[in-house]
Amino acid sequence: MGIATVNPSTGETVKVFEPLVAEEIDRRIGLAQQTFEQYRRLSFAQRAEWMHRAAQILIDERQHFGKIMTLEMGKPIAAAIAEVEKSASVCRYYADHAEQLLADVTIETDASHSFICYQPLGVILAVMPWNFPFWQVFRFAAPALMAGNVGILKHASNVPQSALAIEEVFLRAGFPTGAFQTLLVGASQVSQIIADDRVKAAALTGSESAGVSLASAAGAQIKKMVLELGGSDPFMVMESADLETAVATAVTARMINNGQSCIAAKRFIVQESIADAFTERLVHKYAALKLGDPMNPETDIGPLATAAILHELHEQVEACIASGAKVLIGGNPETVPTRSIVALQHGNFYPPTILTDLPIDSPSRQEEFFGPVALLFRVPDLDAAIELANSTSFGLGASAWTQNPEEQQRCMRELEAGSVFINGMVKSDPRLPFGGIKRSGYGRELGAEGIREFVNIKTVWVK
């Protein structure tokens, strides 16, 4: 269908957009380059004024923007509104801290004066996913624009109204025309954009296959890339953990965004001595989750974003069952209560599901499940837990629950991930660098490291 808003709750096509033709893409990139030549010279104070204004627009109209997200990709409305608020927070963080983070750094050498300065690169391409339509874009755009770069956005093709709304926020905030543009283009047009000499670097958040494709194209042009790809994050629970808090957090960590988050907890690795108690509580809480219309504030879980995602997820679950896995709850999309509601009969709903007893040679132990499906494993001790946690090709985030200081230290040092959270849920924070290792990507967003990804870190030596 191309670029279109398709309501995932009903299957209804709401609005269809024509992708930009090559000539218009060229014009937009030219506008971005022209804008950059002036924008890079503006003061941090001026950029910060506009960025604060963008944050205020988001806060003032968070209900409106939240409804756009829920309509396009199905996240519960309360979560969508919270996402808009978080997007405002990243705008404010970089508005307040960019000048300090990019200040010159004096280094004592044999020169009369030597220092490091940080200068913008130019036009940066952002290829962003549908699962957090506002947050993913703003966590790229806020540091990039505050550093003096300009951005062009290729958003996922199923969230075009979110993409256009974000561009409008920056324009209304006062940023010059061309400082941030949304390009409604298909995936096949991205290689043309990254090959353009005026585009200096790119960031991609998305699937492993999308990352491979864009990184290959950028590599051929010797252009900087930041990749945040998939994850199969472990959620380790040892016998000293606060069990009630761990179980409650496990539900949130798996079901956030209808289970469609790269940093959602996906593999629950529980010490044998407490596994029965943990499992009983987890199943009970899963059974209490309300699945339904995401526009209803009481809904806990809405539909998956597309019919293709629903189909792929169920194929993964069926493969697990065929290999010998046991279903503790869920596992059959035909049993969800939404099937009795006429308006929702064609929605992409999948029930909260827990699978256990997965054979050690099951391919599913290495896969990312992008939906409300938890994989539950039992281990005898911390050594086995860490070994299992590190056994995938992913390395995005990891959560470990233990009150034992020695175990905490081992988890901090030995878990192979870009982020390790002890007794807490993995999350992104504007103040901390975010990203992965192994096949979860490279480079960092957020924090000081994030704003320095798309700058020229220039050494200056004077005598």
**Spatial contact of 158 and 72, defined as CB atoms under 8 Å apart:** yes
Active site residue 262: yes
Active-site residue, selected from the candidate residues 83, 228, 368, 407: 228
Strand arrangement of the beta sheet that strand 180-182 belongs to:
180-182, 150-155, 123-128, 199-205, 224-228, 441-442
pTM listed for this prediction: 0.97
> What one-letter code names the amino acid at 286?
Y
CATH for 3-228+438-462 (3.40.605.10, 3.20.20.300, 1.10.10.10, 3.40.1160.10) = 3.40.605.10
pLDDT along the chain (463 residues), means of 10: 91 96 97 98 98 99 98 98 98 98 98 98 98 98 98 98 98 98 96 97 96 96 97 98 98 98 97 98 98 96 97 96 96 85 86 95 87 98 98 97 98 98 98 98 98 98 97
Interatomic CA distance for residues 221 and 175, integer angstroms: 29
Collapse the DSSP code of 57 into the 3-class scheme (helix H, G, I; strand E, B; otherwise coil) and give the result: helix
Q: Is residue 66 a contact partner of residue 86, using CB atoms and an 8 Å limit?
A: no
CA nearest to 385, candidates 244, 231, 238: 238
Measured CA to CA, the distance from residue 203 to residue 101 in angstroms comes to 20
Contact criterion met (CB below 8 Å) for 402 and 408: yes
* 377: Cβ contacts below 8 Å, ≥ 6 apart: 267, 268, 269, 270, 356, 358, 388
Which one-letter DSSP state was computed for residue 339?
A: G
- Give the integer Cα–Cα distance in Å for 374 and 360: 16
Backbone angles phi and psi of 416, in degrees to 5: -90, 90
Q: Does domain 233-422 have CATH number 3.40.309.10?
A: yes
The predicted pLDDT at position 423 comes to: 98
- The set of residues, in sequence order, having a beta carbon less than 8 Å from that of 172 and lying 6+ positions away, is 53, 54, 57
The residue count for the chain:
463
Residue 190 CB partners (closer than 8 Å, separation 6+): 125, 127, 154, 213, 214, 217
**Tokens, residue 143:** 């540091």
Task: Identify the DSSP state of 463.
Answer: -
Q: What is the distance between the alpha carbons of residues 195 and 197, in angstroms, rounded to a whole number?
A: 6
Q: What are the residue boundaries of the structural domains of the chain, listed by start? A: 3-228+438-462, 233-422
Are the beta carbons of 436 and 417 closer than 8 angstroms? yes
Token pair 């491979």 is at which residue? 212
Contact 147, 98 (CB under 8 A): yes
DSSP 305: S
Task: Choose the catalytic residue: 83, 91, 167, 262.
Answer: 262
- Of 433, 396, 402, 439, the C-alpha closest to 270 is 402
239 is catalytic: no
Q: Please, which residues have CB within 8 angstroms of residue 126's CB and are 6 or more apart in sequence?
A: 137, 140, 141, 144, 151, 152, 153, 154, 202, 203, 204
Most distant CA pair in the chain, distance: 79
Strands (E), 62-149: 105-106, 113-120, 123-128
Residue with tokens 């324009």: 171
In 3D space, the residue among 365, 132, 368 whose CA is nearest the CA of residue 231 turns out to be 368
Q: Which residue has the tokens 């539900």?
A: 251
Torsion, Cα 358 364 369 374, to 10 degrees, reads 10
Q: Are 444 and 421 in contact (CB under 8 A)?
A: no
